[in-house]
Structure 1
Amino acid sequence: MGIQKDVGRAFKLVKDAMASRKAKTLLAGRLASREPLPRNHFTIAVYFADGPVNMYQMRQWYKPLLKLAETWPVLVLSRTGGGSLKLLKESPLPVAHVRSVRDLENVIHDQNIHIVFYVNQNPRNFQMMRYGRMWHVFINHGESDKMYMVTNQFKAYDYSLVAGQAALSRLNRVLWDYDFDKRAIPIGRPQADHFSGPLPYTPDSRQVVLYAPTWEGDRPAAAYGSIVTHGVALVTALLRTGTHRVIYRPHPRSGVVDHEYGAANKRIVAAIEAANAKDPAAQHIYDTGPNLGWQLSAADVAIVDISAMVYDRLAAGKPLMITRPVDPSALIDTSGYLSDCEWLDASATEGIAGALDALKNNTTAAARLDSWVQHYFGDTTPGAATARLHAAVAGLMTEWDRHAVLHAGDGLFDIPDPDSVDVPES
């Protein structure tokens, strides 16, 4: 058994090395064939130090940032080869591959960056945060009541753009000596202004159910994933009714830690394929597309795990159910929406059709939902969150200008030429 594992590991190392070499060649070709980035042009940077597996964190910001770039040009700074290759292929925003610190220095020297956005808490963020003549702003990759949303790492950034009153209350409750009145700026959920897109099915009388589970988590406290405990049973039950259409959108990291979780995911995919083969008119969807939006607005009801998907759906203001974690170690913040949501226990998954009918006719639940939407996101009128995002950025730009004038002539705002100083390579 040990020899078998060693052979497997060796094979994986060789396979990964070959894939890495191929990716480097492709990336070099793409970079060589494109036009150089214009100098002294970009005023906002989005720093992304992750690879393709976490690309979902960037994708949800494409449309809001593209709109923002109409006023303030935006450049994505990508640190990994795999991430850069993916971004160069799909990002609507310009991308700079900055593998080394020297590469990063070169771009900073060539541009006029006032604001740097961060979509996650990658440790390599600190290689960018060493620069003090720009605002470092955490924009996150979602809104939720997970413990990630109250990490003390918020204090590392000059400012954070948060969703609304729920986020402000959460930070004030957990973080010590954090000036959330100044440093946390509520903007709503600008992504919700772009929850649209062509449907991959023909609408009919079927009730459309979005099932969007998260991954299994890397520790018991974050064991929110439901594919094993809820998913197989509930999807199987819905596929049998003939009156439902399932949109299955699992987290991209599903199965990376737990083999059983990955196997359950494959069973669901196979069941959807079999159901469509039996009844092509059902048009059930296994969704792995890069864009998230139409799924949230088109589904009649959503079933999601404790994750940012809860709050993305909440921003859409439409019915949803939350899977209750089976692992008793999973932390659940019951001070917010999760104290008043519609829970789905694992034992109730086979009767999911009846539960969905009951939710559809529950006017009290609908009224409570509206109240929570206001608490988490404020005004959700189309365009309101986008306007708040632009106002926040305008305020930071004005503040940057004030500091630039205040320190004019003292040399503090001079970004040195990396060729004239000793810059580390990594």
Structure 2
Amino acid sequence: MSLRTDITSARKVFRNIIRSRRTRREIVRREREFPRPEAGTIRIAVYFADTRVNLYQIRQWYAPLRELAKVHPVAIITRSPGSALTINEESGLPVMYLRSVVELEEFVAEQDIRIVLYVNQNTKNFQMFRYGRMWHTFINHGESDKMYMTTNQFKAYDYALVAGQAAIDRLSRKLWDFDVERKALPIGRPQADHFAGEGELPYTPDERTVVLYAPTWEGDRPAAAYGSIASHGVALAEAVLASPRHRLVYRPHPRSGVIDEVYRAANERIIQAIAAANAQDASARHVFDDGPALGWQLAHADVAITDISAMVYDRLATGRPIIVARPVSPDAEIDEEGFLGSAEWLRAPEAGRVLELVEKVQGDPAARENLEHWARHHFGDTSPGATTARFHAAIEQLMGEWARHAELHAGEPRSSESDPLDDEDDEGMPGGGD
């Protein structure tokens, strides 16, 4: 078994190397599509070192970043050729593919970067952290009550832009000696200002109640096993698909089934069930959604069913009904100090009767009041444009702090920040080199 595993891993490494080299050649061929920003023009960089499998983490920031770029030029720095190609096609922002640390150093030297934004905790973030005369700022890829939201890695950043009071309370409870008041800046959820316009509806609205089911992946350890596809998903989907009064929009996490074969099989079964239901009744227009745009699903669904993930809070920001699938893993950490303490839970044995709960949350005034309360607690003012204004204000605050420190240290020599030993290329690593 060990030899077979080694052979499989070796083949995967080889495929990654070939794919990475092919993609790099494609970037060279399309060089004109990657114009280099004029020297000294970029003051804000978004650093994304991940491969295409995690593009969902930066995609949700495209619209807010395009809005920010109207005030301060923004460039996205990528380290994966595949990510560079896709982000360049999708984002509407300048994209730099900087494979090596030497290339990264050259770009930093020619620009006037004052703020670097990070959407995840990729280990290659540390190759960017070496630069001391800029603010390294974690903006995350969603608000949630997952354990990820209180990782000690928050301390690696100069600042973190967080959603609101719930995030500040969460960090205060969980992290020792973390200066939350100074380092955590609440901005709400800027993405929510763009949800309604993100993507065209794949169906024509009618009398059917639209139920969004947006589960997360299975997780890589018991404490992070929040995914419901294998435990709730099939029964839930079958119940909605069987109803002539409902439409299912199924948007699974892009990593669903990457580890667990049972989870992957359940995901495929739901996708097949949607196709079969549409073949039987073309007017139903049930949707399997794996597209890059996230927004219309949250803004237009009558009821959303999610797992414990950022999708709970993206939906909460809209103020519309939410049901949360209760994890079956006894080890999955559930922080019930916030919204989850009063959420409408869907337990696995009840998944086949999900439409009863759908009707309940739609017609319950107390549930609506509860959502409004927690939306304010997690995001503050959610009126149109308010969270974008707070995002821009936080950026201006950091720009002001940068200018203050630059004046304090004017005339000091710039220390060498290069370390050639860190100039790695992970194209051969499993899961890398796309």
Same-fold status (TM-score > 0.5)? yes
Q: Partner residue of 1:293?
A: 295
- 8 Å contact from structure 1 (residues 48, 77) kept in 2: yes
Partner Cα distance (1:422, 1:17) in 2: 22
Q: Partner residue of 1:278?
A: 280
- 8 Å contact from structure 2 (residues 223, 331) kept in 1: yes
Alignment of 1:221-370 (within 5 A): 221-370=223-372
Q: Partner residue of 2:117?
A: 117
Runs of 4+ in 1 over 2 A off after TM superposition: 1-22, 30-37, 421-426
Deviations 1:136-193 (A, max 9, x none): 1110000011111111111111111000000011111111111111110000001000
Shift of 1:263: 1.0
Deviations 1:345-382 (A, max 9, x none): 11111111122112211111111111111110000000
Q: Partner residue of 2:53?
A: 53
* Amino acid aligned to 2:135: W
Q: Partner residue of 2:88?
A: 88
Please state whether the residue corresponding to 2:85 is helix, strand or coil: helix
Please state whether the residue corresponding to 2:153 is helix, strand or coil: helix
- 8 Å contact from structure 1 (residues 164, 188) kept in 2: yes
* Amino acid aligned to 2:178: Y
Please state whether the residue corresponding to 1:387 is helix, strand or coil: helix
Across the two proteins, how many residue pairs are aligned to each other?
A: 422
- 8 Å contact from structure 2 (residues 34, 94) kept in 1: no
Between stretches 174-183 and 300-309, larger displacement belongs to 174-183
Shift of 1:270: 0.5
Deviations 1:45-96 (A, max 9, x none): 0011100000001000000011001111001111122222222222211111
Shift of 1:110: 1.0
Please state whether the residue corresponding to 1:196 is helix, strand or coil: helix
Please state whether the residue corresponding to 2:117 is helix, strand or coil: strand
Please state whether the residue corresponding to 1:316 is helix, strand or coil: coil
Please state whether the residue corresponding to 2:36 is helix, strand or coil: coil
Q: Partner residue of 2:432?
A: none
- 8 Å contact from structure 1 (residues 209, 303) kept in 2: yes
Q: TM-score, normalised by structure 2?
A: 0.93
Q: Partner residue of 1:213?
A: 215
Between stretches 32-41 and 167-176, larger displacement belongs to 32-41
Shift of 1:219: 0.2
Between stretches 35-44 and 235-244, larger displacement belongs to 35-44
- 8 Å contact from structure 1 (residues 102, 424) kept in 2: no
- 8 Å contact from structure 2 (residues 35, 94) kept in 1: no
* Higher RCO, 1 vs 2 (CA within 8 Å, ≥6 residues apart): 2
* Amino acid aligned to 2:215: P
Q: TM-score, normalised by structure 1?
A: 0.95
The runs of 5 or more residues in structure 1 that have no matched partner are none
The runs of 5 or more residues in structure 2 that have no matched partner are 425-434
Identity rate, percent: 56
Shift of 1:14: 4.8
- 8 Å contact from structure 2 (residues 34, 88) kept in 1: no
Partner Cα distance (2:224, 2:41) in 1: 42
Q: Give the 3 Å change call, closer, same or farther, for CA 210–78 of structure 1 in structure 2.
A: same
Please state whether the residue corresponding to 1:393 is helix, strand or coil: helix
Q: CA RMSD in A?
A: 1.9
Partner Cα distance (2:203, 2:13) in 1: 41
- 8 Å contact from structure 1 (residues 102, 423) kept in 2: no
Partner Cα distance (1:409, 1:3) in 2: 60
Q: Partner residue of 1:403?
A: 405
